[in-house]
Amino acid sequence: MDVTADGINLHQGVSNAVISDNLVRNTGDDGIALWSEAGADGFDGEYGADRQVTVERNTVQLPMLANGIAMYGGHDNTVRANVVADIQVERGGIHVGNRFSATLLRGVTRIERNTTLRAGADHPFLATPIGALWFYAKDAPLTGEVLVTGNDLLDSRYAALQVLGSSVTNVTITDLRVHTTGTHLLQIQSAGSLTLTGLTADAVAAQPLFHCPDAVTFTVTGTPLTPTYCGPFL
């Protein structure tokens, strides 16, 4: 498809739905998005949240702007066994965020057995590169539980993982495979914490951890990531 906006967007209060087995290519915005917008037409809280949605076995290629697959707020949604490739501008491969006036993320969000290829891009307005898998606490701290299991992040243009914004917590990453990054393995630009276990990584181009502890306090438990770098982006 060649569209000027999102390829597929479940907007505001969609529940018990499955998005599966689609090829989404060359979109003008996110390839696939779950946007749990609050405040419009009275759809706040539970009514505004996309919930119990599964996004599985899709291929998303070449979004001209934004992410391959994005979840903005909502609860108890799953992104599973998708392939996301060749992000062009501003965003990453798979994204979770409290953004765009969405209901706040809660419940358990699952990101399982996905593959990103050449994901991540420079973001000129945020003055930062974006990782292949990234979390953004823009509107409010990101506290809903996120379980990231068995994913492959390959040939990432910048960092493989990124946290950004006010505070990101309650994220558990297990059995992650990272092959080739343009910069770091984890790029920390928020307060908070995450747990990382079962990591396999090779061909990481820069120091594994980008973290400026004088700016933000963030804790990584499980697999230690050293050395740490704080300075201009490469």
Q: pLDDT tens digits, residue range 57-96? A: 999 999 988 999 999 999 999 999 999 999 998 899 999 9
Average pLDDT, the chain: 95
Q: Are 76 and 46 in contact (CB under 8 A)?
A: no
CA 232: distance to chain centroid?
A: 23
pLDDT band of residue 15 (cuts 50, 70, 90) is very high
Q: Is 213 exposed, middle or buried (0-12, 13-18, 19+ CB in 10 A)?
A: exposed
Q: What single string gives the DSSP state of each residue in 7-75?
A: SEEEESS-BS-EEES-EEESBSS-SEEEE-B-SSTT--HHHH--BS-EEES-EEE--SSS-SEEEES-B
| Cα–Cα distance measured from residue 217 to residue 58, given in angstroms and rounded to the nearest whole number | 36
Q: Rounded mean pLDDT of 178-186?
A: 98
The predicted model scores a pTM of: 0.96
pLDDT of residue 233: 85
Give which of 179, 199, 103, 91 is closest to 135, Cα–Cα: 91
3-state percent breakdown (helix, strand, coil) of the chain, nearest 5: 0, 50, 50
- Tens of pLDDT, residue by residue over 189-201, are 999 999 999 999 9
